[in-house]
Amino acid sequence: MVVPSTTPAAAALPSPAPPSSHGGGGDGIPTVDMSAPHGRAALSRQVTRACTEHGFFRATNHGVPPGPAARLDAATSAFFALAAHDKQRAGPPSPLGYGCRSIGFNGDAGELEYLLLHASPAAVAHMASSIDTDDPSRFSTVVNEYVATVRQLACEILDLLGEGLELQDPRSFSKLVTDTDSDSLLRINHYPSACTIHKLDHDDQCKLKRIILSLLRANDVNGLQVLLPNGEGKGVWVQVPADPSAFFINVGDLLQALTNGRLISIRHRVIASACKPRLSTIYFAAPPLHTRISAFPETVTAGSPRQYRPFTWAEYKKTMYSLRLSHSRLDLFHVDDNDNNKVGKEEKE
């Protein structure tokens, strides 16, 4: 949750020393140049390694034009600048819609406001009338344009992962996102200006990271931190420097389950020393509700038995919304030896 502090932003303690990383700068954040300067095979290996070792990376030269992002930022900033009673027309969240401070249904709260939208054009159009009352189609056009460009980047990353993991069909991941019934979402977070420090944990924290992949883009205000492994079996909180030109890619719980734990879903949080408003936009790539989430055969071996029992996205989503933000969900789907034997027998049949 978000915990306001009376400590001035300037007095914030420095982050711990970052872990070592490949392909990154001095900040310890894995960085991937999506323009593939060394060829596609090398790019696939780099993306796969980042998601295997860190579960997170910064994507640069990603090919997403700046126009759609700038137009979305302008549209959502205009909405968040409205009077409170005008914004409430788009709420309360159910879970879609406008939310302020209250996060989810189980008592979690934070110093932020947000819009949560289903990424399908029909769903966007339905919400647009309560977000942009002057011209709903204007808002729909801006959101749909942004979603289309970011979905393309998400699919490219997922295809690179499929190649890097040597799946029989490298497009297995991206097909879940491009399905017409995809349950993908778009969330825009606005952290108001206030010269105090606010802490918002995501992960066992942010319910929506429980999807396949999330692509985060933010303005030039710092705040995002990730818990990266340090090579000694421990995690270190690392400050992610603001970079409005980059996307920050997070492996989701479903991708961890689909790869039998080879790709890891890590914790992240926002500590917003908000003397300037922070605006972040996250595209959550998700499968259709009926999709059966089960580790791909290529990831299950004698030395690496199945870690999670099969489940549907609808089943996982129901569990997700029934718990507090701090509760781990994927752990509820871990299997023991008896479960492995049962699943193996069922698949042979």
Beta bridge partners, 227, equal: 237
Quote the CA–CA distance of 81 and 84 in Å, as a whole number. Answer: 9
How distant, in Å, are the alpha carbons of 141, 156, 159, 255 from that of 162?
Answer: 31, 10, 5, 11
Average of per-residue pLDDT across 290-311: 96
pLDDT digits 0-9 by tens, 120-167: 999 999 999 999 999 999 999 999 999 999 999 999 999 999 999 999
The pair phi, psi for residue 158, each rounded to 5°, is -65, -35
| Residues in CB range of 77: below 8 A, 6 or more apart | 190, 279
pLDDT digits 0-9 by tens, 182-210: 999 999 999 887 665 555 544 333 444 56
Write down the pTM of the prediction. Answer: 0.86
Nearest to 166 by CA among 293, 297, 292, 291: 297
Residue-level pLDDT at 340: 55
The token duo for 81 is 């600048």
Quote the CA–CA distance of 2 and 88 in Å, as a whole number. Answer: 21
Residue-level pLDDT at 347: 52
Q: Is-contact 278 221, C-beta < 8 A?
A: yes
Helix H or strand E encompassing 248? strand 247-251
Model confidence band, residue 236 (pLDDT cutoffs 50, 70, 90): confident
Residue-level pLDDT at 1: 30
Domains of the chain, CATH where assigned: 9-348 (2.60.120.330)
pLDDT at 17 over 80: no
Residue-level pLDDT at 328: 64
Model confidence band, residue 323 (pLDDT cutoffs 50, 70, 90): low
pLDDT digits 0-9 by tens, 81-93: 999 999 999 998 8
The token duo for 31 is 């960085």
DSSP 27-69: T--BEEETT-TT-HHHHHHHHHHHHHHTSEEEEES----HHHH
Q: In which order are the strands placed within the sheet that holds 235-239?
A: 197-201, 268-273, 224-229, 235-239
Residue-level pLDDT at 234: 77
